[in-house]
Structure 1
Amino acid sequence: MIYVDQTFLDETTYTHVSIKLKGTEQHNSFSGDYQTFIDNRIEILTESYPDYIFTTRFQNQSFVKFNSDVKIVEVISIIFPLFFFLIAVLVTMSSMTRIIADQRIQIGTLRSLGYSKIKIITKYILYVLLASGIGVLLGIGIGIYSIPFIAYNAYVVAYNLPPLSIEYHFMYITLISSTMILSVLIVTYFSVVNVLKEAPSNLLRHKSPKAGKKILLERFTFIWKRLKFKYKSTFRNIFRQKRNLFLMLVGISGSTALLLAGFGIKDAVELSGDAQFNQMYNFDMELGVLPNETNITLIEANDKLNLMIQVAYFDETDYINLIVPETYDEMNDFLSFRDTKDKSIEFKSDSVFVTKQFALDHNIHVGDLISLEVNDVTSNFTVTGVVAYYFGNNIYISNELIEDVFSLYLNKIYLKLPNFSKLDMNQLQNSLNDLDNVVHVQTKDDLMASFKQTSSSMNSVIILLVIFASVLSIIINYNLTLINISTRHKEMATLKVLGYDEKEVSGYIFRETFMISSVAILIGLILGRSLQYFIISQINVDGIILKNDIYLLSYLYTALLSIVYLLIVYVSSIPKIRKIDMLEALKSFE
């Protein structure tokens, strides 16, 4: 229950005025000209009305939240596509190399029939231009007319947004398309030229398999002697086909890294929310009241002072929330502070805490002086701690340090309601909302719900990226498996002639695939953690700093998904092995 003076309800005070300036319609809202125009007008208004604080719509809370979400997605949209692009180029180039290697007999036949090298090269160049051109056009269509709408609609749930307007960045489209096509063209050209160096008579024969070499494992005789023959042949084949080994390690580890990074970003947002709302916030309800000098008596509750002020640090200015408790010992009851090393830190009578993001942005360290300006009064304070705070920028100063310097007024109250049920909490919230001088009332559950609604929009984008990473993983695994089968066609035909059944022949190929994939998945988990750490560290959004951790379950889900994709490829490749003709092994290729 809250008891207030009668005067608290007598007068309504306006604290916010929205202004539309003439001439803004002549500028693009996100252009430099628009920002310059607004800054000039604010400078004029500030000179005319020095007692008021003027801010642009870019400081509006909803705009700031949406802009923060967009910036996080922007960082992801730069790094993720780069990895997708590099892996896709690698797989495409390996595919063209395989196609040309498989068609060496056709190339030899064409040379024997009198076709020039230029015509043969032109044939494959035209094929690559046609295939990659169709792929690029499909990619541009999906990238422009599908993915942006999916991502945008995810935010329509949390924000009231206008219809999406697509802008075409022809420079990016041209750069990406030309790089992709040019990369494949270069590989195709040199692959064909390399084949054409051989005499036509040699091209009409299958290329001899590489000679086996003694591998490092054989030197450990106490291990090697205990291995069965099928495992010995598996290890020898893995290191005999070094190019396939490299492609599988890079392709599978890269796609695994993308999967884990996607899960990791989602985890970072969830862990940050949990740390702030469940570990740091110890209050149950937050009241925003009109800023006036009215005294409010609270029974079984404590009050805090919270107001927007201007902070000057050396030659930089910024806006930040100042939180001042009535007495310093009450602060620890309502907020639990942890330093940047995640160690608990106590708020004392001489404490001046700055949140981590603000400290990083302004290069503030413990022991530095900061200058606070309130109502034309300026005073310096020594920073005693940099504390973890994930959403928002605050400075926490004890009332003992600040009460004789600044004239502060109450505008926010935090309540602890330990014996209130959810129903009691809702009834109290409704009663407080009816008071004229109460601007807003939010429970901690409301704050968490708002955070979850906003983060769910970004999670939708992350899920989209995970889906694309999954598709890429399956394509890479399938493509590299087909390369392995095609290059070992004669070997598998020979095994069938020698009496190996289909299960044993399949195991001959997929045993190598699973061994290499297991190593690649482990490498991918390490790379994925590094990629996630890099992405989180690159998210430089005002008032947001994410906890750079990943749930252990995410590692497990990533590994399991990668294994499932391998099994899908295994099942889909079995018909290819069944179609291998045993008579292939009996044919003479000399």
Structure 2
Amino acid sequence: MTKSYWRVLWREIGHSKARFISIMLIIFLGVAFYTGIRATGPDMLQAATDYYADQNLATNSVQSTAGLTKKDLAILHQHRDQLSYQAVKYLDINQLNNNQVVRVAEMPSGSLNRVTVVSGHLPRRANEIVLDQQARTLQPKLKLGSTYRIATTSALNRQFNRRTFKIVGFVNSPRYIEKATRGVTTVGKGTLDYFALVKPGTLTQTVASRIDVGFKNLRGVTPYTAKYKRLNRANTAKLKHWLKPQAAKRQAQLQRQARAQLAPQVAKVQALAQQLPANAPILTKAQAQIKQAQAKIAAIGRPTYLVTGRAANPGYSEYHENTQRVVALSTVFPLFFIAIAALICLTTMTRMVAELRVQMGTLKALGYSNAAIGSEFLLYGGLASLLGTVLGVGFGVNFFPRFIAQAYGSMYNLPAINVQVIWADILIALVIALACTIGSALLVLRVDLTSLPATLMQPKAPKAGKTLWLEHWHGLWNRLNFNHKVTLRNLFRYKQRLLMTVLGIAGCMAMMITGFGLKDSIGDISVKQFDQLWHYDAIVVRNGSQTAQQRRALHRQSLVKNDFVVKQAQVTVERSDVANQTATLSVPQHPQNLTQFVVLRNRQTHAAYHLNNRGAIIDEKLAKLYDVQVGDTLPVKLGNRQVKRVRVAAIAENYVNHFIYVSPSYYHQLFAATPVYNGNLVQFTHHSQKRQNAFANDLLKTPGMLNVTLLSTEKKNNFQMLDTMDLVVVIFVVAAGALALVVLYNLTNINVSERIRELSTIKVLGFYDGEVTMYIFRENLILTGLGIFFGCFLGNWLHSYILNTAETDSLMFSPGIHWVSYVYAALLTLAFSLLVMTIMHRKLKHINMLDALASVD
């Protein structure tokens, strides 16, 4: 290629800067979105992988219903070539002085599950304690150097050698990567609020509560992968096999210990039998007590050993699912950008080829080959693609992963991500970008390069006019003025431009609707869940059935308007193909009065559901996760009991967490036991936060009261993290807006360039500048309106798809979009159209009519 050739290329770029920049911007937006969002999922996974490795997160945990002894540790010690392990002692308590359920654990001696110190330091003395970072969120008064006091029931207080500590640090644990969730417990309301770590020797218990295990064959294996799952299944099977004989040994040990404790009593009774007649009442009573004790010893069953993997850790599986949702978004959302970019590039390159027909004919006449002539267009498009790709990759992989990870950062205790360069995605993006421009150029050139020079050197004949179907509608057509008739003729005359503009605007409109719709779907959760479905203000949890003293204490509170007695327990829904879900099992004492406190209804029809003895009512999200319909069964595990198959009688509207409602009779059918009504749903007369806190603190002073959960606090905690989704909404709206602006500008610029002779002619005929602009703007306005119309339907579909991929397991978004969101999206699109026409108006005012009307004949 000669210098003259390159000079012609640079001159063409200089003469058509707007076109070159618009192609580059289209490619930039498409590539930035594709590479950026595609990199987000892997970046988030890599951050988790590095964190698990740095903190040496255990691969498995072992628990037992009878605690874990040194003999259990000895079994694992035999296989120390395959694994490392550490024993952990902990005690779950319900803090009566702050209404929180806390897991107090002794610092283990091993290196597994290393905590990250956020501030302060780890305990160095017996009177020092470190708290979960989540404790700061729940109790802002907790600070370094302040005193922390354990104040729970008398029985649990006795299990501590000391109960007053100095707070010396706040930490995060790799077992709990999710900020808000700490798992379930059998204490208080059934869920943990945070954990605390103390020096060994603080607890009086002699057995371990849990053994953490780290298998060496999983070091360096990426979590969540098929290889990790395969090895973990084999490791779990090994653990169960090794520990299986321990159940019978532990049973025998417990029986021996119980007999040893009973032996002095037996000796006393035997001595008493030698001193008293056989039928003496004291002797008979003592012998009966001994028999009862011996029967209890004989009834001591084999303890259950529970071996779990990392999936049992709160947030572990959900984090992976969230990254997969981002990956799912990265496969559909950038496609809109790429498809629109391809359409616009095709239109732009078509116009460029049409503008340079004379030059092509001249070059052909001078003897240049088709390859040499076409290479100008290929280089023009390729250079725009290359620049757009380089800038798009640089911006996308550095901005979008950090931006989206920041949105999820409010939900997880993970370090900031490190940006990765995924060359495969970059290569794909470059190929797509080049296909959009070079491919479009080749598509357009296939006809012109085969034409004769004489044909190319003549202007292309304008499209022949056709009779519109509207002209047959005489009542309408005859009422239109000249300008309106011309506008309609031009719209249907240039069908390609009509299609491209409508599709481009519809795609941008769809993405803006999706952005605003996400905000609606998130915001509606709070209103629907806490105002329409739940009509109570607090949940009171007791240690058993309600006593007269507890009822008097509850109704002594002036804040209480009404209450409803229920049984509430945390259950686990288990199935191998779905991550385990924690659900609240609710059994109302009087099901007929449940509707005053909880609305169970169909989400679409609002038809009311009522409990019966033929099945349970479950929430919609739970049904969706496990793919169950009415009449199917759901595998539910209550505590350490066997999994029960619960029949689904109805699927009710619900948005936050999981719930399973059953009647007392159906509960008895399932678990062969009468429900113990351990809770109250309470309605308040006022909603002052100060009065609600005072109510909780006062009620917890009553013996047997374990926990008071205020829905105002739950609402605040649940939706604080959802506020960060606004960042994702901003991405949708800003990106879609930028694309809409570029699309409208590009297509309008092409429209003006194509019709420059026509516009110059009407200016010569005396049309004012404003009339000339309106000549074009009327068409743009109609095309924008059509794009907005079809974009509404496309946006509704895209919104539904995004919701299905972006939801977390414990959350269901409200599927509706507010009408005002459609209005906002439409107004923004119209505003972009007006902005483009304002820019075009300035260009039209400075048209050189003589040059434009000059003929090449």
TM-score (norm 1): 0.89
Deviates more, 1:129-138 or 1:59-68: 59-68
Are 2:226 and 1:32 aligned? Answer: yes
2:622 matched to which residue of 1? 358
Distance 1:433 1:483 in 2: 73
Deviates more, 1:83-92 or 1:28-37: 28-37
Q: Which amino acid aligns with 1:10?
A: A
The 1:73–1:40 alpha-carbon spacing in structure 2 relative to 1, beyond 3 Å, is same
Distance 2:468 2:616 in 1: 63
The 1:31–1:314 alpha-carbon spacing in structure 2 relative to 1, beyond 3 Å, is closer
1:28-107 counterparts in 2 under 5 A? 28-43=222-237, 44=239, 47=244, 51=304, 55-63=308-316, 66=319, 70-107=323-360
Are 2:567 and 1:305 aligned? Answer: yes
Bigger-Rg structure (1/2)? 2
Q: Which amino acid aligns with 1:127?
A: Y
For the residue of structure 1 that corresponds to 2:721, the secondary structure is helix
- C-alpha deviations, 1:482-533, integer Å up to 9, x for none? 0100000001111111111111111111111111211121111122112222
1:84-483 counterparts in 2 under 5 A? 84-287=337-540, 297-298=550-551, 299-300=554-555, 301-311=563-573, 319-321=581-583, 322-350=585-613, 352-370=616-634, 372-374=636-638, 375-376=640-641, 381-403=646-668, 405-406=672-673, 414-419=681-686, 421-430=688-697, 441-483=708-750
Distance 1:370 1:185 in 2: 55
Q: CA deviation at 1:103?
A: 1.5
Distance 2:498 2:392 in 1: 29
Q: CA deviation at 1:429?
A: 3.9
Q: CA deviation at 1:349?
A: 4.9
Which residue, out of 831, 835, 838, partners 1:571?
A: 838
For the residue of structure 2 that corresponds to 1:416, the secondary structure is strand
The 1:326–1:226 alpha-carbon spacing in structure 2 relative to 1, beyond 3 Å, is same
The 1:64–1:344 alpha-carbon spacing in structure 2 relative to 1, beyond 3 Å, is farther
Q: Which amino acid aligns with 2:418?
A: S
For the residue of structure 2 that corresponds to 1:384, the secondary structure is strand
Distance 1:261 1:295 in 2: 49
The 1:582–1:191 alpha-carbon spacing in structure 2 relative to 1, beyond 3 Å, is same
For the residue of structure 2 that corresponds to 1:305, the secondary structure is strand
Distance 1:219 1:406 in 2: 79
The 1:156–1:411 alpha-carbon spacing in structure 2 relative to 1, beyond 3 Å, is farther
Deviates more, 1:379-388 or 1:249-258: 379-388
The 1:407–1:176 alpha-carbon spacing in structure 2 relative to 1, beyond 3 Å, is farther
Richer in helix (by share): 1
For the residue of structure 2 that corresponds to 1:210, the secondary structure is coil
1:501 matched to which residue of 2? 768
For the residue of structure 1 that corresponds to 2:733, the secondary structure is helix
The 1:570–1:312 alpha-carbon spacing in structure 2 relative to 1, beyond 3 Å, is closer
For the residue of structure 1 that corresponds to 2:214, the secondary structure is coil
Q: CA deviation at 1:96?
A: 1.7
For the residue of structure 2 that corresponds to 1:35, the secondary structure is helix
- C-alpha deviations, 1:208-248, integer Å up to 9, x for none? 22121111111111211111111111111111111111111
Q: CA deviation at 1:414?
A: 3.6
2:10 matched to which residue of 1? none
2:46 matched to which residue of 1? none
Distance 1:285 1:56 in 2: 34
Q: CA deviation at 1:188?
A: 0.8
For the residue of structure 2 that corresponds to 1:503, the secondary structure is helix
Aligned-residue Cα RMSD (Å) equals 3.3
Q: CA deviation at 1:535?
A: 3.0
Q: CA deviation at 1:181?
A: 1.1
For the residue of structure 2 that corresponds to 1:306, the secondary structure is strand
For the residue of structure 1 that corresponds to 2:570, the secondary structure is strand
Q: Is the 8 A contact 2:546 2:678 kept in 1?
A: no
Q: Which amino acid aligns with 2:422?
A: H
Q: Which amino acid aligns with 2:156?
A: E
For the residue of structure 2 that corresponds to 1:21, the secondary structure is strand
- C-alpha deviations, 1:277-297, integer Å up to 9, x for none? 2211122123567xx558663
1:507-522 counterparts in 2 under 5 A? 507-522=774-789
Q: CA deviation at 1:132?
A: 0.5
Q: Which amino acid aligns with 1:522?
A: F
Q: Which amino acid aligns with 2:214?
A: K
The 1:311–1:453 alpha-carbon spacing in structure 2 relative to 1, beyond 3 Å, is closer
Q: Is the 8 A contact 1:304 1:326 kept in 2?
A: yes
Structure number with greater CO (CA < 8 Å, separation at least 6) is 1
Deviates more, 1:137-146 or 1:110-119: 110-119
Distance 1:99 1:241 in 2: 16
The 1:449–1:309 alpha-carbon spacing in structure 2 relative to 1, beyond 3 Å, is closer
TM-score (norm 2): 0.63
The 1:157–1:98 alpha-carbon spacing in structure 2 relative to 1, beyond 3 Å, is same
Q: Is the 8 A contact 1:121 1:193 kept in 2?
A: no
The 1:428–1:34 alpha-carbon spacing in structure 2 relative to 1, beyond 3 Å, is farther
Q: CA deviation at 1:576?
A: 1.7
Q: Which amino acid aligns with 1:305?
A: K
Q: CA deviation at 1:445?
A: 1.9
- C-alpha deviations, 1:161-180, integer Å up to 9, x for none? 31212333333222232122
For the residue of structure 1 that corresponds to 2:684, the secondary structure is coil
2:104 matched to which residue of 1? none
Structure 1 unaligned runs (5+)? none
Q: Which amino acid aligns with 2:502?
A: L
The 1:589–1:439 alpha-carbon spacing in structure 2 relative to 1, beyond 3 Å, is farther
Distance 2:675 2:731 in 1: 48
Distance 1:439 1:27 in 2: 43
Distance 2:764 2:578 in 1: 80
The 1:311–1:128 alpha-carbon spacing in structure 2 relative to 1, beyond 3 Å, is closer
Distance 2:494 2:658 in 1: 55
Q: Which amino acid aligns with 1:250?
A: L
Q: Is the 8 A contact 2:762 2:772 kept in 1?
A: yes
Which residue, out of 841, 844, 847, partners 1:580?
A: 847
Q: CA deviation at 1:326?
A: 3.1
Distance 2:475 2:855 in 1: 40
The aligned length equals 584
Q: Which amino acid aligns with 1:206?
A: P
Q: CA deviation at 1:19?
A: 5.3
Deviates more, 1:123-132 or 1:405-414: 405-414
The 1:157–1:393 alpha-carbon spacing in structure 2 relative to 1, beyond 3 Å, is closer
Q: Is the 8 A contact 1:283 1:414 kept in 2?
A: yes
Distance 2:800 2:384 in 1: 37
Deviates more, 1:245-254 or 1:268-277: 268-277
Deviates more, 1:541-550 or 1:464-473: 541-550
1:10 matched to which residue of 2? 155
Identity in percent? 28
Q: CA deviation at 1:157?
A: 3.7
Distance 2:666 2:835 in 1: 66
Q: Which amino acid aligns with 1:241?
A: Y
Q: Is the 8 A contact 2:364 2:370 kept in 1?
A: yes
